[in-house]
Structure 1
Amino acid sequence: MAIRQRQSPDARLFTKGVAFAQLPKPNIILESSEGPSGSQLQVDLSADGVGRFLSLSWPAAPPESKELLLLSEDPDAPLLSPIIHGIYYGIPASVAGVSNDDFLESAVAHALKGGFKYGKNRRGNIYIPPRPLLGHGSHRYFFTLVALGQPLDVSKLSQVPTDQEIATAIEGNVVGWGEWVGVYERKWE
């Protein structure tokens, strides 16, 4: 694994891609039961606990939204690009929140009980709970909701698409986005 330079860890976040050039600032308010963005994550939300997905809600997506996607990433890992903890697509625009139960696997391949699908993360599973390097300091976990003006054309995606595939597929299609950031640290005891 390549270690990246520590300057500008946010420069490679998903929302810094070409798809967001026309909408560089969030316009959807994303909230969590954990508190305001920037809150410390509870141990239960980490790999040190049970690793459940946090609850997120938003008042409404922009009216022109046809579909939503959600991404979780850690830009503070000492790697060339942020660690993708989870990517979820095909979320109906009418949905106004998600909770841990939505991320349980359904009987349909690569689909979740929340009625949407998941893409490829670093471990090839549904979700990687926060687990920063021990003693590496606080890591920020960005949970980003993206509203799309048209549904993704899944015929142009892999069965389990990568974040790069999704980023390319949403170019020219982003009508809104919001983010909530949680912080977690693993200290030497």
Structure 2
Amino acid sequence: MSRHDSPTLHVTSESFRDGQTLSPAQRSGKMRAGGQDESPQLSWSGAPAGTRGYAVTLFDPDAPGRGGFWHWAVLDLPAAVTSLPAGAGSEGGGHLPPGALQLKNDGGFHGYLGAAPPPGHGPHRYIITIYALDVENLGLDAGFSPAKLESKLAPHILGRGTLTGIFER
């Protein structure tokens, strides 16, 4: 099996259902979308043997401009962690497990930035991906760009799963 055919993780959330509209908690307050910038509760299972850590990303591929918009990226989650509580991605990462690292989102800070598509732009997809990795630590620092993360993750991915929320205003 090649790394591109990696097993699928089962990802769920108590905050929203796959393919459904994000709740106000997961929408942005910082970007005036009437929300709270609270990262969703996440749980995952089905990691393959050899999993030594996880990464979590949230990406909006429908954002205007080149390359979409990175709302959240968390690296170096321990293999024993298979869920994150709502709000774990608060700015500064105080609610994440020890050793976890949040990269700077495209809004300019280290933490979760809620959904905030431009008014009238249509529905946007907010894709959360959980990566099961063969390393405990990717060796990146907090200044690393989420837009370049896929190339660093790719050689270490053992499995992945996604969950997609929708929002428009």
With normalisation by structure 2, the TM-score equals: 0.84
1:167 deviates by 2.3
Show the counterpart of 1:50. 36
Counterpart mapping for 1:90-109 below 5 A: 90-104=76-90
Structure 1, unmatched stretches of 5+, are 1-20
1:105 deviates by 5.0
Cα distance in 1 for partners of 2:164, 2:9 equals 14
1:49 deviates by 1.8
Counterpart mapping for 1:148-163 below 5 A: 148-154=133-139, 157-163=140-146
Between structures 1 and 2, the one with greater helix share: 1
1:37 deviates by 1.2
1:122-177 CA distances to partner (integer Å, 9 max, x unpaired)? Answer: 122112110000011111100100011122342xx344211244323223211000
Pair 1:46–1:164, CA change in 2 (3 A): closer
Pair 1:28–1:129, CA change in 2 (3 A): same
Show the counterpart of 1:137. 122
Pair 1:182–1:26, CA change in 2 (3 A): farther
Q: Secondary structure of the equivalent of 1:40?
A: coil
Q: Which has the larger radius of gyration?
A: 1
Structure 2, unmatched stretches of 5+, are 29-33
1:36 pairs with 17, 27, 31, which one?
Answer: 17
Letter matched to residue 162 of structure 1: S
| 1:117 matched to 2:101 | yes
Is the contact made by 2:7 and 2:48 (CA closer than 8 Å) also made in structure 1? Answer: no
RMSD after superposition: 2.0
Cα distance in 2 for partners of 1:166, 1:30 equals 20
1:35 deviates by 4.4
Sequence identity of aligned pairs in percent?
25
Is the contact made by 1:23 and 1:176 (CA closer than 8 Å) also made in structure 2? Answer: no
Cα distance in 2 for partners of 1:153, 1:89 equals 7
Cα distance in 1 for partners of 2:151, 2:37 equals 30
Letter matched to residue 44 of structure 1: A
Cα distance in 1 for partners of 2:104, 2:147 equals 10
Pair 1:101–1:42, CA change in 2 (3 A): closer
Q: How many residues align?
A: 160
Show the counterpart of 2:164. 181
Cα distance in 1 for partners of 2:116, 2:91 equals 22
With normalisation by structure 1, the TM-score equals: 0.76
Q: Secondary structure of the equivalent of 2:25?
A: helix
| 1:65 matched to 2:32 | no
Between 82-91 and 121-130, report the one with greater CA deviation: 121-130
